[in-house]
Amino acid sequence: MRSAKDFFAPLAVGAPTPPRDIPWRPSRVIHFFDPSNEKMAAKLPGLIPRVDVLLGNLEDGVRADNKIAAREGLVKVAEGNDFGETQFWVRVNSIDSPWGLDDLLTLVPAIGAKLDVIMLPKVQGAEDIHYIDRLLAQLEAKAGLTRPILVHAILETARGVGNVEEICAASPRMQGLSLGPADLAADRRMKTTRVGGGHPGYLVRQDPNPDAPDAVRATFQQDPWHYTLARMVDACVAHGIMPYYGPFGDIADVTACEDQFRNAFLLGAVGAWSLHPVQIDIAKKVFSPEVKDVEWAKKVVDAMGDGTGAVMVNGTMQDDASVKQCRVILDLARRLAARDADLAAAYGLAGPAA
Ligand SMILES: CC(=O)SCCNC(=O)CCNC(=O)[C@H](O)C(C)(C)COP(=O)(O)OP(=O)(O)OC[C@H]1O[C@@H](n2cnc3c(N)ncnc32)[C@H](O)[C@@H]1OP(=O)(O)O
Ligand SMILES: O=CC(=O)O
Ligand SMILES: [Mg+2]
């Protein structure tokens, strides 16, 4: 393990210095597209201004015989588009696959200056992050890049979940983690075939009524991802990086998608993936605080003055801890409002500089 003193030193001579803090930029929605799919690529000029992050996916979801076309398509997308404020990410193939190494060897020299983040799938432990950390430093130095590319890991194996803390801590490049419920379910041998979301069999049932033993007993579906997501959020926050919910595969069920995203938002996640254009506005809505919550947060912050002591607001006790909760909401609202005039107007906060 590197000492604290050299943790932030570049891992190759001439590579850019890794960041001390992960810069905050909106990432409520990470929109996936397949760069080998010309119909999808044709839609990008209209999608780029709508999403916080555009991600070219080279891994699962791209046919094996399209892997090279996808990699080459991504280079064309990077060269042919101006991303403005939108982040540009790639999900490369895993480092044990036949394509992972060539993805990195091709993309960093060709379009490294435009890539904000590399999403690495099937991360098992710190050793995977150490590998990509050194390789990226070598490639950045060779390409003469002046800005380090950040790394985002998908938590989608049982071993990865077991090692979540060391994954977050493995490199100053670590930007965040996404939950990968489909691969994780397979790896854990869970018996759901869904891509994220609940399952009608995963429930708790109301106790029997002794006075009506034959009466129907209500059931309540539970969230099978709660444990992993909560664990992931704690690990990310402890290491100053960002947690994300991943994919929701039932594209037609926009209601359940919104519910799953909101569960993640309430637990601390900052965004989720969109697999289809219909999921973009769901993620943006869910991961932006609601107007009523922003108004409440302002009220509590105002009532708390210097932020210490205890006061009553609308019949509820507010104190040093609850004002911190309100500041979390207000801080996110302010950051989003500073980039989005509509949200600024809705929240009554300062908008983008003219
Ligand atoms: C577990 C995991 O690893 S999840 C991550 C990997 N999976 C992915 O990235 C999947 C990405 N999404 C997709 O491949 C597609 O959205 C699918 C297969 C789910 C559905 O695709 P379709 O059946 O074509 O959906 P649909 O007919 O509703 O699409 C409407 C239009 O939106 C386009 N579109 C669909 N998804 C996207 C997208 N993600 N980005 C841009 N355009 C898209 C379609 O090409 C289609 O264009 P057209 O009107 O010109 O024909
Ligand atoms: O990559 C995502 C997943 O759910 O698996
Ligand atoms: Mg996966």
Ligand 2 center from residue 124 Cα (angstroms) = 14
ipTM: 0.99
Tens digit of pLDDT for each residue in 81-106?
A: 999 999 999 999 999 999 999 999 99
| Average pLDDT, rounded, for the chain | 97
- Residue 57, beta-bridge partner list: 91
Query: What is the average per-residue pLDDT within 260-278?
Result: 98
Domains in the chain with CATH codes: 4-287 (3.20.20.60), 292-347 (no CATH)
* Binding site membership of 181 for ligand 2 (Cβ less than 6 Å): yes
| pLDDT(319) > 90 | yes
Instruction: Say if residue 211 carries a ligand binding annotation.
Output: no
pLDDT value, residue 344: 98
Query: What is the average per-residue pLDDT within 207-220?
Result: 96
Measuring from each residue's beta carbon to the nearest atom of ligand 1, which residues come in under 6 Å? 32-34, 39-40, 43, 57, 60-61, 182, 195, 247, 251, 275-277
The identity of residue 81, as a single letter, is N
Query: What is the average per-residue pLDDT within 222-237?
Result: 98
- How many angstroms separate the CA atoms of 19 and 4, rounded? 14
pTM above 0.90, yes or no: yes
- Reading the block at residue 129, the tokens are 């992050």
Ligand 1 atom 35 nearest Cα? 276
Tens digit of pLDDT for each residue in 136-155?
A: 999 999 999 999 999 999 99
What letter would DSSP give residue 175? E
> SS3 for 176?
strand
Measured at the alpha carbon of residue 316, what is the angle toward residues 312 and 318, in degrees to the nearest 5?
60
- How many angstroms separate the CA atoms of 78 and 59, rounded? 18
Tens digit of pLDDT for each residue in 1-59?
A: 788 999 999 999 999 999 999 999 999 999 999 999 999 999 999 999 999 999 999 99
The residues whose Cβ lies within 5 A of ligand 3, an ion, are 156, 180, 183
